[in-house]
Amino acid sequence: MLESITARGKNFMSYEEAMRLASRDEAFKATVYAMNTLLIHRGIYTQEEFQQLFVEWMKKEESKKGLSKDVSRPEAAFA
């Protein structure tokens, strides 16, 4: 495993060390962050397009939650 290296007086962390330190949730979040950052910087999509799709996904998820809540309440079918 690579160790942290110091360059120009700054402490850098290797990928292997970061993966070792990260929880599963943190590793997932870091992966999403890295992928989105690369895609935005390379012009695959803009920050605005990302935000629009994020909101679209959240609306769909919230809608699903609302539907599943109604299914668990039989009386909702008669409202």
Q: Please check whether residues 24 and 53 belong to one and the same domain.
A: no
Total domain count for the chain? 2
pLDDT 10s digits, 15-40 = 999 999 999 999 999 999 999 999 99
Q: Please check whether residues 11 and 37 belong to one and the same domain.
A: yes
d(CA 61, CA 67): 10
Please give the pLDDT value at position 8: 54
- Is residue 70's pLDDT more than 80? no
Q: Does residue 4 contact residue 14 with C-beta atoms inside 8 Å?
A: yes
Domain hosting 79: range is 47-79
Q: What are phi and psi of 39, to 5 degrees?
A: -65, -40
Q: Please check whether residues 52 and 78 belong to one and the same domain.
A: yes
Residue with tokens 């870091």: 30
